[in-house]
Chain A
Amino acid sequence: MALIKNREITEDHWVRIDDESAVPAEGGAIVSIARWRKDRAVLAGRNAPIGVELESGDGPEVVADDIVRLDLIAVPFATFRDGRGYSTARLLRERYGFTGELRAVGNVLRDQLPLMERCGFDSFEYAGRTDAAKALKAFRDISAVYQTAADRRASAAALRNHPSKAFSNGTCG
């Protein structure tokens, strides 16, 4: 599985720690939300980046009080057809102001990457059959966007009202 971050394939510096194992003192560690709830005080006091993986169907409120303590939040897609994670991501970014790494995990496929990115995900545990390097093209499939979302891309309406930000077909982000 490849990790895509900020539209590039990168090495994953985070390790996943299951609920039974000890959390290493160093390096980024991702724990389950259950573990986080149980060991929050210890984990937050650790002198290394900490991340939490939500469960399917968890809304952003489950980490509302921890936004500033967390360096990474992983939002699961049990199947790519389950779209709850899109709302969770937008709310984490736009309402709760989460600025750390927001990672899409689970059934993360090529054609959903651009939508996920628009909702605020910046990293993806890519699980598609299309070669990851080729899948990066997905981010540039469609140039125009009609909505304002977590990625703050200028919507069609915004571009129309600010001709200075001229729309250039096929090259904008």
Chain B
Amino acid sequence: MYMYDEIDQSLVDERVIQFRDQVNRRMTGELSEDEFKPLRLMNGVYLQLHAYMLRVAIPYGTLSSEQMRKLAWIAKKYDRNYGHFTTRQNLQFNWPKLEDLPDILAELASVQMHALQTSGNCIRNVTADQFAGVAADEVVDPRIYAEIIRQWSTLHPEFTYLPRKFKIAVTGSEIDRAAVRFHDIGLIAKRNGAGELGFEVIIGGGLGRTPFVGPTIRDFLPERHLLSYLEAALRVYNQLGRRDNMYKARIKIQVHETGAETFTEMVEAEWAQIRDTAVDLAAGEKQRIADFFRPPRYRASADAEAQLRLQLRDDRNFARWVETNVAPHKVTGYRIANISLKPIGGIPGDASSEQMDAVAALADRFSFSEIRVTHEQNLVLPHVRADDLYALWQTLKSYDLDTPNLGEISDMIACPGMDYCALANARSIPVAQQISERFADLDRQHNIGELKLKISGCINACGHHHAGHIGILGVDRKGEEYYQITLGGSGAEDASVGDIVGPAFPYDKVVDAVETLVDTYLDIRTDGERFLDTYRRVGKTPFKEALYGTD
């Protein structure tokens, strides 16, 4: 993991002092709310429906056990004993008091954490593949570059008042676990014919009210030019992005309206001017950062696999959990263990202080003190020995963290919706809970197989509904909550935006509608087909007929 040096530490410490002063100036009226708002947003502080909300950055989803314990402690001391892991690998506290916020930020700074740029019209906290460093399919650990981008984007003097927010995601693998095509900039690390490392650069993807799968604007950017290229792209956006209409201010609209080709030319022309300046990091600094991401000292035992096989044979429930929640690791004898934060009927992404503490302890015991947060709102212990999985699972059970549903229908993404969010048209969480309960039977879920269901409470699409195999969007119909259903979206390497299947459903009919869709799929799927594959093969019609009849 990256560790702060005195420079990094001074920045987060001074930010706390600065924010304390800003809060004071707001209290005395020296700052108007209008002037204070972007300042607090840049420190992750939102004003929600009922209270302030603090969004803590978990850069590229990597956490130490010590940091997790601090989050648990903050939840206990300053909030209501829980936190909410978000689709951008952040953690939200829903009930802090404004006057406590500087103290909370100081607590975070004490464990090398912050809430910088988790909101506001700036470059947001950068996200990455949650399996970074342990996935067998990656060409490089994307966190090295995510950390480089984190530093470069932190308090960037030119790009702190952009037309709109700006999100960057990085993956080191062809298998896209970071939804890179739905980001303002997505980066896919790859090697060229000569074996050199670089990035495919994708620009102008996004969800929200006008979803776009981002186009590739450069097939191969040599990695040493990463920052100058980003700086060029951001500069073009900062100068030309729309400022008269916030709904048209994201870069995706600019790319779409200018045309990807013309936009690319502008970025390339700007880049040509700065590509050999000091914007890019010197090799020494890059190496310094890369060294923090060296793998831990694995100590696989010779009979770890054999022991796991025995345990799998003897305990059917354990075997079920391993089958759904455990992924292969690049080192023989190790596994990646996913911890579902989607218990049946629970609130997707919520974790209590006790659960956070438990995961921290398990990370110390089994995973070199390291934890990951996924954009699908789950946690990961990235380095678990095969013969430790059983003991891990047993402890997870006692904290209700053992739900074997990863990638299945109850492992859904849901935004906070009307329960917290001032912009919502409809509730998301209760819909998620009811769907989860409807499909509580794990055998049934397992039979359905991979199904990504995503729910947003309004068109802003924080729940990524466009990218759901089944997407649900809350809409307002004369003051009543309705839900529009989309089919066939994907946030993975085969990214696509879902199609609206037909008229929206009222609150009390939406769960039935989901069940009808699933049953229709089960009727018509062929062997080995996921819901998404079936939909792509047969199209909308059978699903539409099942929902609305044939006329």
Contacts and interface: CB of A to CB of B under 8 A. Distances in A.
A56 B35 CA distance: 19
- Max count, chain A CB within 10 A of own CB: residue among B10, B38, B158: B158
Interface in B218-266: 235, 238-239, 243
A87 to B, nearest CB: 5
Given A86-B161, A119-B157, A143 B152 contact: no
Interface stretch (B94-102, B276-284, B428-436): B276-284
Given A82-B161, A115-B160, A142 B285 contact: no
B152 A146 contact: yes
A146 B159 CA distance: 13
Interface residues of B, number: 45
Given A143-B10, A143-B14, A161-B282, A81 B155 contact: no
B11 A142 contact: yes
Given A141-B14, A161-B284, A87 B151 contact: no
A144 B10 CA distance: 7
Contacts of A146: 11, 151-152, 154-156
B39 interface: yes
B285 A161 contact: yes
A106 interface: no
B288 A160 contact: yes
A90 B243 CA distance: 20
Contacts of A87: 158, 235, 238-239
Given A144-B10, A144-B11, A146-B151, A157 B281 contact: yes
A128 to B, nearest CB: 8
Contact of B35 (A109, A118, A143, A167): A109
B151 A145 contact: no
Interface in A92-117: 95, 109, 111-112, 114-116
B30 interface: yes
Contacts of A161: 282, 284-285
B156 A111 contact: no
Nearest to B120: A81
A2 interface: no
Given A144-B11, A148-B279, A83 B31 contact: no
B162 interface: yes
Given A59-B239, A80-B35, A115 B7 contact: no
Contacts of B288: 160
Contacts of B7: 144, 156, 159-160, 167
B158 A141 contact: no
Given A81-B38, A129-B31, A167-B6, A147 B285 contact: no
Nearest to B29: A129
Nearest to A169: B10
A119 B231 CA distance: 14
Contacts of B25: 130
Contacts of A169: 6, 10
B67 interface: no
A159 B30 CA distance: 36
Interface string A47-88: 000000000000100000000000000000000111110111
B155 A86 contact: no
Interface string B149-173: 0011011111111110000000000
B369 interface: no
Nearest to B25: A130
Contacts of A143: 10-11, 14
A114 B154 CA distance: 14
Nearest to B162: A83
Contact of B155 (A95, A145, A158): A145
Contacts of A148: 277-279
B443 interface: no
Contacts of B243: 82, 84
Contacts of B277: 148
Contacts of B14: 141-144, 170
B183 interface: no
A34 B198 CA distance: 46
Contacts of A142: 11, 14-15, 18, 155
A29 B8 CA distance: 44
B157 A156 contact: no
A137 B162 CA distance: 25
**Closest 3 A-B residue pairs measured CB to CB?**
A83-B161, A118-B157, A157-B285
9 contacts: A86-B157, A119-B157, A130-B31, A143-B10, A144-B7, A147-B156, A156-B7, A160-B7, A160-B288
Interface of A: 59, 80-84, 86-88, 90, 95, 109, 111-112, 114-116, 118-119, 129-130, 141-149, 155-161, 167, 169-170
Given A141-B17, A170-B14, 6 more contacts: A83-B163, A145-B155, A145-B157, A147-B152, A148-B279, A156-B7
